[in-house]
Structure 1
């Protein structure tokens, strides 16, 4: 398997969580685009690279051991200083369509385990996403 850099590993995470429920929603795809357009870690990544990496990721996921391959690749590529960033972008994509499916929750659990994240960090990242994606009052 070809070696990838940190930014591409983060793209793999976002694509994997978006594909976890077998439905890549427009909201999830748009959010991936927004994240890659705005976060400094993705500087120099254009839409062509994003599409290429998304296709590479989905090809890996099509394999029987694809999910484990992605998690190993991510763990081996991303330095510990970006573990929280990795989890934050995953949560952002999971929350993008305003409902997190069981498959997405399972992937998030697997990612937390692979990155050995602190429980307080996890809670803070998840709370932040809930606040950002809260719907307006239905009064």
Structure 2
């Protein structure tokens, strides 16, 4: 398996969060595209690769032990300074449709544990999403 760039790994995070409840909503997909175009962490990322990277992630997820493999690939590809960024992107996608399901909560827990993030940092990221998405 090829080594992912940090851009690809962050896209994997978002695609995995979008797919975890077996439905990728239009809101989630649109948000992934906007985040890749807008956020400084994606500077230098070729938008034309978004679909291909998303498909690669989907193919890995569909395989045996797919989620575990994807989480490990993400952890290996990201520098530690981007672990909290990855978690923030996962929260952003989970909140995109204004409903966070049990599967999404479980994935956030798995991601937090895999990346070794502390609960206080994660709670702050989650709280900021609640404030941003409040109607």
Give the structure-2-normalised TM-score: 0.97
What secondary structure is seen at the aligned counterpart in 2 of 1:30?
helix
What secondary structure is seen at the aligned counterpart in 1 of 2:63?
coil
State the partner residue of 1:93.
Answer: 93
Give the Å deviation of 1:102: 0.9
Give the Å deviation of 1:119: 1.4
Unaligned runs of 5+ in 1: none
State the partner residue of 1:13.
Answer: 13
Give the Å deviation of 1:117: 0.6
What secondary structure is seen at the aligned counterpart in 1 of 2:85?
helix
Distance between the aligned counterparts of 2:90 and 2:119, measured in 1? 16
Give the Å deviation of 1:101: 1.0
What secondary structure is seen at the aligned counterpart in 2 of 1:117?
coil
Per-residue CA deviations over 1:53-86 (Å, capped at 9, x if unaligned) read: 0000000000021101111001111111101000
State the partner residue of 2:60.
Answer: 60
Give the structure-1-normalised TM-score: 0.94
- 1:14-53 → structure 2 map (5 Å cutoff): 14-53=14-53
Q: Which aligned segments of 4 or more residues in structure 1 are displaced greater than 3 angstroms?
A: none
Give the Å deviation of 1:47: 3.0
Aligned alpha-carbon RMSD (Å): 0.8
What secondary structure is seen at the aligned counterpart in 2 of 1:86?
helix
What secondary structure is seen at the aligned counterpart in 1 of 2:3?
coil
Q: How many residues align?
A: 135
State the partner residue of 1:115.
Answer: 115
Give the Å deviation of 1:45: 2.1
Unaligned runs of 5+ in 2: none
Distance between the aligned counterparts of 1:46 and 1:4, measured in 2? 14
